[in-house]
Amino acid sequence: MIMRRLFDTPAWRPNLLEELEQMRQRISRFYEEPGKTTRRAGVFPLINVTENKESYFIRAELPGMKADEIDISATADSLALSGERKIPDEDKNVNYHRRERESGKFSRMFSLPSPIDASKAEAKMTDGILTVILPKAESAKPRQIAIR
């Protein structure tokens, strides 16, 4: 019976990683204290990193923040994004029913797959979405090679 199960079951199941993650979550819940939440919203902004032939695009959700509250620095192959989210304090006599928005400092660092031209980087903020455009270095751009 055991031998049959070992050899009849495929070695790799598509949802094996999902099952392992569910098992890890169950074990974590077993050891947590009653009433303690395991996941917090945090202060890290949600970010998408995309690219086309010419540039990388980094878009971060930073609602309620102003451009002068965000620090951006770029090197040859990375980008650092940091700042501090400030949320006004509520009245001391309030009772929270849910608290997901937090204040505090955040810092994110991204390694990019190829070099960028940091001197030509641009950033803009529209409706709480920060968009950073990082042009690829000339050496990283694809070149068309003619066949003779």
Residues forming CATH 2.60.40.790 domain(s) in the chain:
47-88+103-140
129-132 contacts, C-beta under 8 A, 24 or more apart: 129/59, 129/60, 129/61, 129/62, 130/45, 130/58, 130/59, 130/60, 130/62, 130/70, 130/81, 131/57, 131/58, 131/59, 132/57, 132/58, 132/59, 132/60, 132/72, 132/79, 132/81
User: Which mean pLDDT values do the consecutive 10-residue runs of the chain (148 residues) have?
Assistant: 53 69 80 53 78 94 91 91 86 82 85 91 94 90 82
Does this model's pTM top 0.85? My answer is no
Architecture of the domain spanning 47-88+103-140: Sandwich (2.60)
